[in-house]
Amino acid sequence: MTDSMIPVIDTHLHFWDLATYPRTGWIEDKPLLYRNYLPEDVKPHFDACSVNYGVIVEAARDSHEMNLWWLELAAEYEYIGAVVAGCSLEQDDLAEWFDAYAESAYFVGVRTSPAGAPDQWLTNAATRRGLDALNRRELRLDLLLGYETFAAVAELAAAYPDLGIMLNHCAHPPIREDGFAAWAAALEPLVQHPNIMVKYSSLLLYSYPDSQLERLRPYTNFLLEHFGPTRLAWGSNWPVELLGGSYVEAFGVMDALAVDLSPDERAAVFGGNAQAFYRVASPAA
């Protein structure tokens, strides 16, 4: 599928152990998810899809203990290449948390949402303090936000042009609501900000139970046309994506939707861009 010299990197994995996981409320009514999910559970899927590395993304914001555990997992499993921790930008002890995580080479950024109304993000002193801390430490910012906030995301990207921003899950497309036009109109202005990337992920979950390729293709065509293959990075959203289909099925759908890319472009989307954005080492390193 891709250039063999570039690793295939899954940029969106979640792990939890029910014995220690503090946020079980959202999965207790989902039997498929209400069990432990650990790195050894994803490895067979990696092997089936020739995936080399994965990136852990927080699944329990504001838990210092969970962030430290995910960093420990990255150090333990050679096929985990980076960790995107969870926190609130506005918390008073953010610098102390970052200092603790910086002891690990796997700490590359955080997933969070700025507090308050989007039009007040950049006027909130606490939010600016957190963004300054990210920017100063050259960390990445993952965001999972609806298109209603995209104007504020553009302002944030303009104010922090050196801050790498990753919009999760194909920029949260409203597929079930047939909201393509509003989503695309809100997303297009973000293209002018080169520090914004989009995670090429999770379309099975967002479209289930109707995940026909032709239903999904307008969204991926828009992303490929406007952001291009240099600003997309594939991810599985495993295990949450299991609610829409298996790991192999999810990988296959995203792969099929990228069928028109050249080998070099596909290598970038499925690994090279993530390697650079999240600073994941290559297998040969």
pLDDT score of 284: 39
Give the per-residue pLDDT at 282.
Answer: 53
Query: What is the four-CA torsion angle of 138, 144, 149, 155, rounded to 10 degrees?
Result: 10
180 CB-near residues (< 8 Å, 6+ apart):
173, 174, 218, 219, 222
Q: Which stretches of the chain score pLDDT less than 70? A: 1-4, 282-285
Q: Is 281 left (phi over 0), alpha (psi -120 to 50) or beta?
A: beta
Q: How far apart are CA 277 and CA 247, in angstroms?
A: 23
CA distances from 168 to 14, 30, 108, 186, 202 (A): 13, 22, 16, 15, 9
Q: What is the pLDDT of residue 128?
A: 98
- Does residue 88 come out as left (phi exceeding 0), alpha (psi in the -120 to 50 range) or beta? beta
- Give CA–CA dist 257/183, Å, rounded: 19
The 10s digit of each residue's pLDDT in 183-201 is: 999 999 999 999 999 999 9
Predicted pLDDT at 5? 83
Nearest 10 degrees: Cα torsion 244, 27, 71, 230: 30
